[in-house]
Amino acid sequence: MVHIPVLLNEVIDFLQCESDKVYVDATLGDGGHAEYILKKSSPAGILIGIDRDEDSVRFASNRLSLYKKRIFLFHENFRNIKNIINNRVRIPKVDGILFDLGVSTRQLMTAERGFSFSHDAPLDMRMDRSSGVNAAEIIHDTSEKELRDIIFRYGEERWAKEISHAICRERRKMPLTTTSQLAEIIVSAIPPAYRYKRIHPATKTFQAIRIFVNNELGILGDAIRDAITILNSGGRVCVVSYHSLEDRVVKNLFKEMERGCICPPHIPRCICGREGIINILTKKPVIPSEGEVTINPRSRSAKLRVAEKTI
Ligand SMILES: C[S@@+](CC[C@H](N)C(=O)[O-])C[C@H]1O[C@@H](n2cnc3c(N)ncnc32)[C@H](O)[C@@H]1O
Q: For 264-296, write each residue's pLDDT tens digit.
A: 888 888 898 889 999 999 999 999 999 999 999
Q: List the alpha helices (DSSP H) in the chain.
A: 8-15, 32-40, 54-63, 81-83, 105-109, 135-141, 144-155, 160-173, 179-189, 203-213, 220-229, 244-259, 290-295
Q: Tell which atom from ligand 1 comes closest to the C-alpha of 28.
A: 5
Whole-model pTM over 0.75: yes
Q: Tell which atom from ligand 1 comes closest to the C-alpha of 79.
A: 19
Substitution site in 10, 30, 51, 301 for ligand 1 pocket (most atoms within 8 Å of beta carbon): 51
pLDDT 10s digits, 32-73: 999 999 999 999 999 999 999 999 999 999 999 999 999 999
Question: In this structure, are residues 15 and 41 in contact, taking their beta carbons and an 8 Å threshold?
Answer: no
CB-based contacts of 111-114 (< 8 A; 24+ apart in sequence):
114/179
- Please tell me the residue having the least CA distance from ligand 1 atom 5: 29
Question: In this structure, are residues 157 and 151 in contact, taking their beta carbons and an 8 Å threshold?
Answer: yes
Domains of the chain: 8-102+217-309 (3.40.50.150), 112-213 (1.10.150.170)
Q: What is the mean pLDDT of residues 128-139?
A: 96
Distances (CA, A) of 245 to 154, 226, 284, 290: 8, 20, 16, 23
Substitution site in 15, 27, 82, 131 for ligand 1 pocket (most atoms within 8 Å of beta carbon): 27
Q: Find the residues whose C-beta lies inside 6 A of ligand 1.
A: 3, 5, 27, 29-33, 50-53, 56, 77-79, 100, 102-104, 107, 127, 219
pLDDT 10s digits, 212-250: 999 999 999 999 999 999 999 999 999 999 999 999 999
CB-based contacts of 143-152 (< 8 A; 24+ apart in sequence):
144/168, 150/208, 150/209, 150/212, 151/204, 151/205, 151/208, 151/209, 152/208
Substitution site in 50, 64, 127 for ligand 1 pocket (most atoms within 8 Å of beta carbon): 127
Task: Decide if pLDDT at 261 tops 90.
Answer: no
Cβ neighbourhood burial of 44 (10 Å; 0-12, 13-18, 19+): exposed
- Rg of the chain over Cα atoms, rounded to whole angstroms, equals 21
Three-class HEC string of 104-154: CHHHHHCHHHCCCCCCCCECCCCCCCCCCCCHHHHHHHCCHHHHHHHHHHH
Cis before 288 (ω within 30): no
- Please tell me the residue having the least CA distance from ligand 1 atom 9: 30
Q: Which of 296, 215, 284 is nearest to 250 (CA)?
A: 284
Q: What is the mean pLDDT of residues 85-105?
A: 97
- Please give the distance, rounded to the nearest whole angstrom, from the Cα atom of residue 135 to the centre of ligand 1: 19
Task: Decide if pLDDT at 196 tops 80.
Answer: no
Average predicted confidence (pLDDT) for the chain: 96
Q: What pLDDT, on the 0 to 100 scale, is given for residue 197?
A: 73
Q: What pLDDT, on the 0 to 100 scale, is given for residue 193?
A: 83
Q: Which of 246, 241, 236, 136 is nearest to 181 (CA)?
A: 136
Q: What pLDDT, on the 0 to 100 scale, is given for residue 199?
A: 83
